Amino acid sequence: MSAPLGALEAGGTKFVCAAGTGPDDLAATARIPTSTPDETIGAVIAFFDDHPVRSLGVASFGPVELRRGHADYGHITATPKPGWPGTDLIGRLRDALGVPIGFDTDVNGAALAEGRWGAAAGCDSFVYLTVGTGVGGGAVVGGRLAHGLVHPEMGHLYVGRLPGDDFAGACPYHGDCLEGMAAGPALAARWGMPAEQLTGAALDRAVHLEAEYLAVGLRSIIYTVAPERIVLGGGVAKLPGLLEALRGALADQLAGYPALPEHEDASFVVPSALPAAGLAGALILAEDALKG
C-alpha cells in the first residue's frame, strides 16, 4: 500500500499537520503552536518523519512567494508575524523530507477544498473569504486559482469608515482596510473582548458594523472577479445573525447593478461547508505536486 498524502496548514497561530487522502480520511493529525521558524518547522519535519507521505501540500499564511522561477519561491515574505519574514518554508521542508511539495496560500487551499468537497462544489468561478484573525480571500476563476505578481490580497481592499465611525482600524499597514475594520483583532480592539464573547447590544452593533464593512469589500470583489458564489469562513463569520445581515447590506451596496437575480439568492453568499478547509485544500496541493 502506498504512503498517504501529506497536508500542512501553516497558520500564524498554529501549524496543523495531517496524512490522508481527503477531509474524511485523515489517518493522523497534529497541532503545533506557531513559535519560532526553527522550532515550528522542526516539529513539522518530526511529524512527517513519523508519518511518511509520498507528497506534501502546504497551505500557508502569507504573504508568500509563489512564482516558481523566483529566487525566493517558497518563502514567507513581508508578514507582520515576528521572526517569520524571509523564512524559506518550502526549501527547508523539501530538504528534510525529500518529497514533492505543492505550495499556496491558506485561503487558496481552502478555496480548492470548498470547490471540490464543500460549499462551492459545481461552481467554475467563486471566491472563498475567511474572516478571523485576519481577512483573506482566494479566487477560482474558470476553474483555476487566480495568481499574478502575488496572490490576491482581498483583506487589504480599501473600505473606509462608515459615517460616524471613528475607529482608526487595526491593520498596521493601512488602518481602515477590510482587514483593519472587520477582522477579529478589530472587533476585540473596539469592544475590549473577543467577538465570540459579545452579547446584547454590543453584539448587535458589532454584527451591524461587520456586515456593512464586509458588504463594501464584497462589492469590490464581485465587480472585479464576477464570482458565481462567495463562501464565507473563519471564526468571525460565525457571529450569530451576521450572514443574514451581510446579505441585506450587500444588496444595498450593489444597489440593483448589474441586476443579476443570482446576487439576490441565498445561495450566492454561503458559509463554509468544511470544518478544516485549509487542511483539506493542502491535500489537493499534494495531489498536484505528484503531477509535476
> Which DSSP string do the residues of 145-207 spell out, in sequence order?
E--SSS---GGG-B--PPTT-----SBTTTBSBHHHHHSHHHHHHHHSS-GGG--HHHHHHHH
Beta-bridged to residue 31, according to DSSP, are: 16
- 253, with CB counted inside 10 A (0-12, 13-18, 19+), is middle
Query: Is the pLDDT at 79 greater than 60, yes or no?
Result: yes
CA distance 226 to 228: 7
Q: What is the C-alpha radius of gyration for the chain, rounded to an integer number of angstroms?
A: 19
Mean pLDDT along residues 148-164: 93
Query: Is the pLDDT at 13 greater than 60, yes or no?
Result: yes
**What band does 24 get if pLDDT is binned at 50, 70 and 90?**
confident
In this prediction the pTM is 0.94
Report the interhelical angle of 184-191 vs 200-225 (nearest 10°).
150
pLDDT at 50: 96
Q: What is the DSSP letter of 141?
A: E
Sign of the dihedral through C-alpha 79, 82, 88, 90:
negative
**pLDDT one-digit tens code per residue, 174-221:** 999 999 999 999 999 999 999 999 999 999 999 999 999 999 999 999
Mean pLDDT along residues 144-151: 92
In this structure, which amino acid lies at residue 22? G
**What band does 1 get if pLDDT is binned at 50, 70 and 90?**
low
Whether residue 269 contacts residue 46, with contact meaning beta carbons closer than 8 Å, is answered with: no
Q: Does residue 161 or residue 228 have the better pLDDT?
A: 228
In this structure, which amino acid lies at residue 221? I
pLDDT at 30: 95
pLDDT at 137: 96
Q: pLDDT averaged over the chain?
A: 95
**pLDDT one-digit tens code per residue, 82-123:** 999 999 999 999 999 999 999 999 999 999 999 999 999 999
For residue 95 the three cell numbers come to: 530538504
Q: What is the separation of C-alpha 176 from the centre of its chain, rounded to a whole number of angstroms?
A: 20
pLDDT at 37: 97
Whether residue 16 contacts residue 30, with contact meaning beta carbons closer than 8 Å, is answered with: yes
**What band does 41 get if pLDDT is binned at 50, 70 and 90?**
very high
Cis peptide before 63 (omega within 30 of 0): yes
**Short-list 131, 128, 138, CA closest to 178:** 131
> Where does 45-114 show beta strands of DSSP type E?
56-60, 101-105
